[in-house]
């Protein structure tokens, strides 16, 4: 079963300890000025956004069928069975197609470095593998970020919405967006207010390209046969014409340097 995170914005107090925990876990710098940056970046994998008394987290959604992993030509990004979408920096050649492909604009790049890497939240794969919670869930003082089995978290989210109908937007963000994500969000205000698109496809993004890519072997096979066949017909026509035309002036010329001829006719 795959693990997931449930973030309930109505419980969040905006203390930003998740940012702190994330920075520690990933050996990133963290101080007041970084805390004030309300966006994900190469040195900040999760950000708590504040609007009045409302909060919302941004982090990698760790999609069930991630666009970035399908886009990556060298499989540096990969969805693990446990849930996290991990990044193997040793494979990455820096084409940045993942950044383009990600519907949530999550992957960031180390533009200032000579040997840059893609940077993003990878849902603490080592901790998850060791049976622990993610750093952000573990440190959260209110339980706003909760770690667990995805199925169980979905049940819990549905229950919370059912039990407190006035408190939530009637939607679990990430349940069906882009085919489902390993980060599930609950909120009392529309998700668009915090930059979460309301028009996400409900099918996995990789389908958009795999539909086309799946035709590649057919194109190779059928194209090869078709072109070969056309060549055979057109050249056969030439052979016949040449035979009928034999002993005429063009052949006379050819004969003079016959040794060059073997290949083409």
If the CB atoms of residues 130 and 243 are measured against another protein, the closer one turns out to be 243
The dihedral through the CA atoms of 51, 38, 59, 213 has a sign that is: positive
Ranges within 183-212 binding another protein (CB under 8 A): 197, 199-201, 205-206, 208-210, 212
Order of strands, edge to edge, in the sheet holding 3-8? Answer: 145-149, 3-8, 183-186
Token code pair at residue 202: 């409900």
Q: Count Cα neighbours of 207 within 13 Å in the Cβ-side half-sphere.
A: 8
- Calculate ∠ Cα 203-207-211, nearest 5°: 140
If the CB atoms of residues 1 and 75 are measured against another protein, the closer one turns out to be 75
The Cα 98–Cα 94 span in angstroms is 9
Q: Count Cα neighbours of 222 within 13 Å in the Cβ-side half-sphere.
A: 5
If the CB atoms of residues 53 and 257 are measured against another protein, the closer one turns out to be 257
DSSP string covering 86-135, please?
EE-TTT-----HHHHH-TT---EE-TTSSS--EE-----HHHHHTTPPPH
**Single residue of 93, 141, 163, 166 touching another protein by CB under 8 A:** 93
- CB within 8 A of 236, min separation 6: which ones? none
Q: Does residue 115 touch another protein according to CB under 8 A?
A: yes
If the CB atoms of residues 1 and 265 are measured against another protein, the closer one turns out to be 265
Q: Does residue 235 touch another protein according to CB under 8 A?
A: yes
Q: Does residue 261 touch another protein according to CB under 8 A?
A: yes
DSSP string covering 43-90, please?
TBS-EEEEETTEEEEE----BSS-HHHHH-TT--EEE-TTS-EEE-TT
If the CB atoms of residues 16 and 108 are measured against another protein, the closer one turns out to be 108
> Minimum distance between the CB of residue 212 and another protein, rounded to whole angstroms?
5
Q: Does residue 240 touch another protein according to CB under 8 A?
A: no
**Which one of the spans 123-131, 162-170, 186-194, 217-225 is the region binding another protein (CB under 8 A)?**
217-225
Among candidate residues 119, 120, 123, 97, the one with its CA nearest the CA of residue 110: 119
> Minimum distance between the CB of residue 151 and another protein, rounded to whole angstroms?
26
If the CB atoms of residues 1 and 233 are measured against another protein, the closer one turns out to be 233
If the CB atoms of residues 25 and 177 are measured against another protein, the closer one turns out to be 177
> Minimum distance between the CB of residue 235 and another protein, rounded to whole angstroms?
6
Ranges within 24-63 binding another protein (CB under 8 A): 41-42
**Chain residues that interact with another protein, rule: CB under 8 A:** 41-42, 67, 69-76, 91-97, 99-101, 103, 105, 108-109, 111-117, 197, 199-201, 205-206, 208-210, 212-213, 216, 219-220, 223-224, 227-228, 230-231, 234-235, 237-238, 250, 254, 257, 260-265
């Amino acid at each position: 079963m795959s693990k997931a995170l449930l973030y309930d914005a109505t419980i969040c107090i905006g203390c930003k300890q998740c940012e702190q925990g994330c920075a520690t876990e990933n050996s990133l710098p963290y101080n007041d000025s970084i805390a004030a940056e309300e966006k994900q970046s190469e040195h900040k994998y999760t950000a708590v956004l504040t609007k009045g008394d409302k909060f919302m987290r941004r982090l990698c959604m760790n999609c069930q069928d991630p666009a970035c992993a399908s886009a990556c030509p060298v499989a540096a990004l990969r969805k693990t069975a446990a849930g996290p979408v991990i990044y193997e920096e040793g494979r990455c050649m820096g084409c940045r197609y993942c950044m383009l492909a990600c519907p949530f604009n999550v992957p960031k790049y180390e533009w200032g470095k000579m040997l840059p890497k893609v940077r993003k939240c990878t849902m603490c794969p080592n901790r998850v593998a060791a049976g622990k919670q993610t750093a952000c869930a573990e440190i959260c003082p209110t339980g706003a970020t909760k770690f667990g089995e995805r199925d169980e978290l979905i049940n819990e989210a549905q229950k919370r919405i059912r039990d407190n109908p006035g408190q939530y937007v009637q939607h679990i963000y990430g349940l069906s967006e882009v085919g489902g994500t390993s980060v599930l969000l609950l909120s009392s205000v529309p998700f668009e207010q915090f930059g979460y698109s309301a028009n996400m496809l409900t099918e996995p993004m990789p389908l958009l390209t795999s539909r086309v890519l799946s035709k590649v072997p057919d194109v190779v096979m059928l194209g090869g046969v078709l072109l070969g066949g056309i060549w055979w017909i057109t050249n056969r026509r030439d052979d016949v014409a040449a035979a009928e035309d034999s002993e005429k002036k063009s052949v006379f010329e050819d004969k003079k340097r016959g040794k060059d001829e073997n290949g083409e006719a």
